[in-house]
Amino acid sequence: MTVFIIRRLLQSVIVVAVMTLLVFAGVYAIGNPVEILISQDATEVERAAAIARLGLDKSLPEQYLAFLGNLLKGDLGTSFVFGEPALQLVLERFPATMELALSAMLIAVFIGVPLGLYAGLRPDSIGGRTIMTGSIFGFSLPNFWQGLMLIMFFAVILQWLPAGGRGVRGEFLGIESSFFSWDGISHLILPAINLALFKTSLVIRLTRASVRETINLDYVKFARAKGLRPRRVIGLHVLKNIMIPLVTIIGLEFGSVIAFAVVTETVFAWPGMGKLIIDSIFQLDRPVIVAYLIVIVCLFITVNLVVDILYAILDPRVRLSDQKA
Amino acid sequence: MSLLSIENLKTHFFTKAGVVKSVDGVSFDLDRGEILGIVGESGSGKSVTGFSIMGLVDPPGRLVEGSIRFDGQDLVGMAEPVMRDLRGRRIAMIFQDPMMTLNPVLRVDTQMIEALRAHGRWSDDAARQRCRDVLGQVGIPSPEERLKSYPHQFSGGMRQRVAIAIALLHEPDLIIADEPTTALDVTIQAQILFEIQKLVAENNTAMIWVTHDLAVVAGLADRVAVMYAGRIVEMGTTEEVVNRPFHPYTSGLIGSAPSRNPRGARLTQIRGMAPLPMNLPTGCAFRPRCDRATEACIIEPDATTPESEHLVRCYHPLSGASDWGTTA
Ligand SMILES: Nc1ncnc2c1ncn2[C@@H]1O[C@H](COP(=O)(O)OP(=O)(O)OP(=O)(O)O)[C@@H](O)[C@H]1O
Ligand code: SF4
Ligand SMILES: [Mg+2]
């Protein structure tokens, strides 16, 4: 297992290295980095200073090394719009987006898996049918419209929850987060639900399909033939097997949740990376776009790594075939 | 009194396309220590008979009629917790495909110990000891190491031994073996047959051995029941059924037994196809494929015993048994 993790870590490092090369090629080698990284409003003096600072007067390999060096120092240029370091800008918004994405995924898993399990075990019951019909709605409603409806209903009509913004964050063990204050949580609920609805439907359907498939397999029948209680047959024999496809999908979807967050963050004025990137694209704030790309790629790599490790924990066949390889 | 006594068992599947009468009036008795072979083509209802005894028939299937008396109690309509207590402890089942019977994501020890603990308290040490003993009994070398393995680390034959070991854990009174060696190659099949025969004899365990292959059963079973389209069409001592089959279908099976033919060669087939369970021919279900069929066969033949202990469902039985159909 340790060997497995170390190998996956090394692979991740290689991917990051390749990624920096690609970003470098995209920004420095193909385009004119002066135009990409330095605002057009800059004066000649500012330009010259920036060119020298970014090392744009040197050869390409030297520039790449300099780029790597700057990257390690966290310097990806300065936002044209905010005048702050681009990476810092993105990272400031990072926790807000992660809060949103995490809450949405937690909702999707903790609601989707039990409902899917129920629908899979009792496909012909009224409850099972209702769940499946409900999941179709989750799939078909447009995200922004659904967000507006949530705001209308819970914020405007019922006035239970705030309509947008992030609220006051609480602090716990030195970590500042919306999770640790009621105001923060109340601001988080609607956007998280909005982001979660689609994923919940997906998890419900995937869980149900996996349960229906697994439940008829010989090893489940054999487990019952041993005289095991249904709770153990379902809770261990069935669940542990359906976790394998579930973890894969949830990992993949985590990435797409962050991408989808753009719409939700816009509708709910949630100050996350999604909103920042949309604003930056409109304003051609290129250093921020580059920083965003790098952060997202690193995030995807991390998620993939975690999924791979979970996968190996869940499925002994993966672990062993990897050791042999 | 017999250990198991099945009377007119009917298990039907109520599918959208219609009712499948998978088991349609099966009766037989089984004594302690006795081995009954159930032989028949694919789809004849052998597995469903086994699952009916285990109480593991799932919707859309249902036991619609009959009784299954096991050691004095009727299993039909028995409360699930009571049935669950018998399952694995007094009645165990081994499945056909060893590649599929063990859960791929759980270690062998997990799967064995949970079977023990389903029926009582076992300390870790005692449970592991019991598992090692039984694995040893079924011929698995270095059981301690094997316990910590996952199923995919075993060959098919070894997996089936593990499944057999799980079935033996509680020394059940009855083992239902649903074609447990069909998927294995011939030498391993022979070894496992030999070992299991020894183990049941030692424990006086009754066994139902389901198979396609009459020859496998010939060396193993005390009695044989031949199933066709959900019914037992012939039943008697192995000796009787194999050497002097009454039913035309049985005699066809003997002609097509894999073990009588060179390995890999296509078997001599019984003419025609096994009937679709949804639209069985009226009367004797074997009629469309039977060389001896007459008009009498349009009416379902009853079970008769031309000789004591040798039952047949046919108007025109073979080999010397009086051809009572023509005079009926
Ligand atoms: N869940 C089910 N739904 C509908 N029909 C079923 C179901 N299970 C079994 N059957 C039907 O019952 C009949 C008997 O099946 P069974 O599995 O007992 O056959 P078998 O004799 O064990 O055959 P094989 O040698 O292929 O294992 C088959 O025609 C099958 O189609
Ligand atoms: S009853 Fe008739 S059709 Fe059926 S097996 Fe006997 S002879 Fe053949
Ligand atoms: Mg079968």
pLDDT digits (tens, 9 = 90+) for A253-298: 888 888 778 888 888 888 888 888 888 877 777 778 878 888 888 8
User: What separation in Å is there between the alpha carbon of A217 and the centre of ligand 1?
Assistant: 14
- Judge contact between B107 and B149, C-beta under 8 A: yes
- Judge contact between B287 and B278, C-beta under 8 A: no
Q: How far apart are CA B282 and CA B297, in angstroms?
A: 9
The answer, for B53 touching chain A at a CB cutoff of 8 Å, is no
pLDDT digits (tens, 9 = 90+) for B5-30: 999 999 999 988 888 999 999 999 99
- The DSSP code sequence of A137-206 is HHHHS-HHHHHHHHIIIIIIIS--S-SSS--PPEEETTEEEGGGSHHHHHHHHHHHHHHHHHHHHHHHHH
Q: How far apart are CA A235 and CA A223, in angstroms?
A: 12
| pLDDT of B325 | 41
Q: How far apart are CA B91 and CA A208, in angstroms?
A: 32
Give yes or no for residue B211 CB within 6 A of ligand 1.
no
Angle value at C-alpha B101, between B99 and B107, nearest 5 degrees: 90
In this prediction the ipTM stands at 0.88
Cβ contact, residue pair B118, A219, below 8 Å? no
Segment B294-299 long-range contacts (CB within 8 Å, at least 24 positions apart): B294/B325, B294/B326, B296/B325, B296/B326, B296/B328, B297/B325
Give yes or no for residue B293 CB within 6 A of ligand 2.
yes
State which residues of chain B have pLDDT below 70.
256-269, 277, 319-328
Q: How far apart are CA B197 and CA B193, in angstroms?
A: 6
| pLDDT of B57 | 92
Q: How far apart are the first and last CA of chain A?
A: 13
Ligand nearest to the CA of B298: 2
Q: How far apart are CA B39 and CA B214, in angstroms?
A: 6
This prediction has a pTM of 0.81
Q: How far apart are CA B10 and CA B24, in angstroms?
A: 4
Q: What's B4-90+170-323's CATH class?
A: alpha beta
Angle value at C-alpha B32, between B26 and B38, nearest 5 degrees: 35
Q: How far apart are CA B64 and CA B20, in angstroms?
A: 12
Protein residue with its CA nearest to atom 10 in ligand 1: B22
Q: Provide the token pair at A248.
A: 């894969």
Ligand 1, closest atom to CA B212? 25
| pLDDT of A55 | 65
b/e A239-273 (16+ beta carbons within 10 angstroms → b): bbbbbbebbbbbbebbeebbebbbbbbbbbebbbb
Domains of chain A: 94-283 (1.10.3720.10)
Query: What is the share, in percent, of chain A residues with pLDDT greater than 90?
Result: 19
Question: Could you write out the three-class secondary structure of A251-291?
Answer: HHHHHHHHHHHHHHHHHCCCCCHHHHHHHHHHCCCHHHHHH
pLDDT digits (tens, 9 = 90+) for A5-30: 888 888 888 888 888 788 777 766 66
Backbone angles phi, psi at A90, to 5 degrees: -65, -45
- Mapping DSSP to helix (H, G, I), strand (E, B) and coil, where does residue B8 land? strand
Does the pLDDT of residue A321 top 80, yes or no?
A: no
Cis peptide before A114 (omega within 30 of 0): no
A219 vs B102, B114, B152: nearest CB: B102
Protein residue with its CA nearest to atom 14 in ligand 1: B45
